[in-house]
Amino acid sequence: MRLNFVAPARRLVSRKFASTANLLATTPRPFGGAAFLYTAHARCYNPARKRSFRGRDTDGADGSGGFPAAPGPDMGRYAQQTTIARPVIKTGIGLHTGARCIVSLQPAEANAGVVFAPESGVTIPATADHVVDTQRGTTLGANGSTVGCVEHLMAALYAFGVDNVRVEVSGPEAPACDGSAREWVELLKEAGVLPLGAGRRVARLGKVVWAGDESSSAVAAPGGSGLALAVAVRFEGTVADRQSLWLRLTPRRFAKQIAPARTFALDRELKGLQEMGLAKGGSGENAFSVGPEGYSGVLRFQDEVVRHKALDLIGDLALCGRRFDGLVVAVRPSHRTNVELARALRAHFESAIAQEEAARSLR
Ligand SMILES: [Zn+2]
């Protein structure tokens, strides 16, 4: 079946139709085939536009340098939340543990979010607050239970607009698959995406949000509709000394340009990773290595390294727990920096919600 794309559907709904309530789709059904035109984005309504946000945050105290504030922070556009249409399963080995791992994706109700459910019975919301480790991957944890390497699955869920899903996990981490998100994309195509009828709020940044330090940094700024990324990496002394990319994220671009990019490691790091007990499941089947003279195998893209970094960034940003419009610029991104940015974004959006609710209570 064809997987339908949320972002193109969004573009079908012009702002001039914002008040046309009958654009609201009322019957949940899986996307697919001619249902492409069935929009999950029924209404574009920006409550903040009714009251001016201009002038806020213009004193530069927040790092804005005194420039006029972008409209917001506000909770921007509205659309419908989604889940998957049917359960699907993926099995494989974990990249770091080499253990057999099974992931079962189950449909979930509106407002449930993405929740990981390991065999311990603990449930772990997929938010930056629950990240317990960022060494060579992003690990979520709660009450002593953890699930590792969630970022490629999270990136696919975000790119395809899946808001609510229960991720049941058997094993210590998500399967490595082929080291990329390609198999997760295929799995979501198999599952289908189902609009739930409940509103989804796409957040808009009200200021520039920073994370990282001089060795790795990421900045999120207001701008445009949807998520745009600019990513630059430097691995001095290797063939991947400088690589960069820019793209505005759509499901189609994600599937074609980002999802197939595989995990990699630097030749000089491999011994250290093994000594740390990591990469036990790593092989030419799911990763490649980068050295001073070349790569360990045939690449899928000439710039596969930076594309994989973009994949990891999208997956980690998804842990802010909310879809948002904006531009993210990442220079030498790492899981640690990505998650730090997701955490800061989460705090920013929560403060926007609190401001909205306070304003509403005063009316
Ligand atoms: Zn990765």
- The two structure tokens encoding residue 215: 């060795």
Give the pLDDT band of residue 78 (cuts 50, 70, 90). low
Reported pTM: 0.79
The amino acid present at 32, given as its one-letter code, is: G
- Among the residue ranges 101-105, 107-111, 212-216, 273-277, the one predicted with the least confidence is 273-277
Distance CA 360, CA 56 (A): 18
30 preceded by a cis bond (ω within 30 of 0): no
Calculate the average pLDDT of the chain: 81
Tell the residue number behind the tokens 């559907």, with chain if given.
Answer: 9
Q: Is 80 exceeded by the pLDDT of residue 69?
A: no
pLDDT of residue 278: 74
> pLDDT of 236-276, one tens digit each?
999 999 999 999 999 999 999 999 999 999 999 888 887 78
Looking at residue 15, its pLDDT comes to 38
Centre of ligand 1 to C-alpha 254, Å, is: 14
d(CA 7, CA 17): 17
**Dihedral (C-alpha) 30, 35, 39, 40: value to the nearest 10 degrees?**
10
Query: What proportion of the chain, given as a percentage, has pLDDT over 70?
Result: 79
Model confidence band, residue 48 (pLDDT cutoffs 50, 70, 90): very low
CA distance 202 to 290: 38
Which residue in the list 41, 130, 335, 348 is annotated as catalytic?
335
What's the pLDDT tens digit per position in 2-16?
A: 444 334 334 333 333
From the number of C-beta atoms within 10 Å of its C-beta (0-12, 13-18, 19+), residue 256 rates as: exposed
Distance 200 CA to ligand 1 centre (A): 28
- Rounded to 5 degrees, φ, ψ at 219 are -130, 135
Looking at domain 83-201, does it have CATH number 3.40.50.2000? no
Please tell me the distance between residue 61's alpha carbon and the centre of ligand 1 in angstroms. 36
What does the buried/exposed string (b/e) look like for 71-81 if buried means 16 or more CB atoms within 10 Å of the residue's CB? Answer: bbbbbbbbbbb
Instruction: Round to whole Å and give the CA distance between 69 and 89.
Output: 45
Instruction: Please tell me the distance from the alpha carbon of residue 9 to that of residue 188, in angstroms, as a whole number.
Output: 18
Taking the C-alpha atoms of residue 139 and residue 116, their distance in angstroms, rounded to an integer, is: 11
121: Cα within 13 Å, side-chain hemisphere = 0
First to last CA, the chain: 48
Q: Based on the residue annotation, tell me whether 335 is a catalytic residue of this protein.
A: yes
Q: Is 337 helix (H, G, I), strand (E, B) or coil?
A: helix
Q: How many angstroms separate the alpha carbon of residue 253 from the centre of ligand 1?
A: 17
Which residues, 6+ apart, have CB-to-CB distance to 333 below 8 Å?
216, 218, 231, 233, 309, 312, 313
Whole-number Å distance, alpha carbon 312 to ligand 1 midpoint, is 5
- What's the confidence (pLDDT) of residue 277? 77
Higher pLDDT: 53 or 195? It is: 195
Cα 310 to ligand 1 centre (Å): 9
Q: Write down the residue that tokens 């946000």 correspond to.
A: 53
- Segment 222-238, tens digit of pLDDT: 988 899 999 999 999 99
User: Based on the number of CB atoms within 10 Å of its own CB, is 298 exposed (0-12), middle (13-18) or buried (19 or more)?
Assistant: exposed
pLDDT of residue 31: 36
Q: How far is the CA of 18 from the centre of ligand 1 (A)?
A: 38
The residues facing 331 across adjacent strands are: 217, 232
Quote the radius of gyration of the chain (alpha carbons, Å): 20
Residue 186 sits at the vertex; the CA angle it makes with 182 and 192, to the nearest 5 degrees, is 140
pLDDT at 32: 33
Q: If you measure from the C-alpha of residue 24 to the centroid of ligand 1, how many angstroms do you get, rounded to a whole number?
A: 37
pLDDT at 150: 97
Residue 225's CB is within 10 A of a number of other CB atoms, namely: 16
H-state helical runs in the chain: 6-11, 151-159, 182-191, 251-253, 267-275, 304-317, 335-362
Confidence of residue 77 (pLDDT cuts 50, 70, 90): low
Q: What are phi and psi of 190, to 5 degrees?
A: -65, -40
Where along the chain do its domains lie? 83-201
User: Cα(107) to centroid of ligand 1, in Å?
Assistant: 25
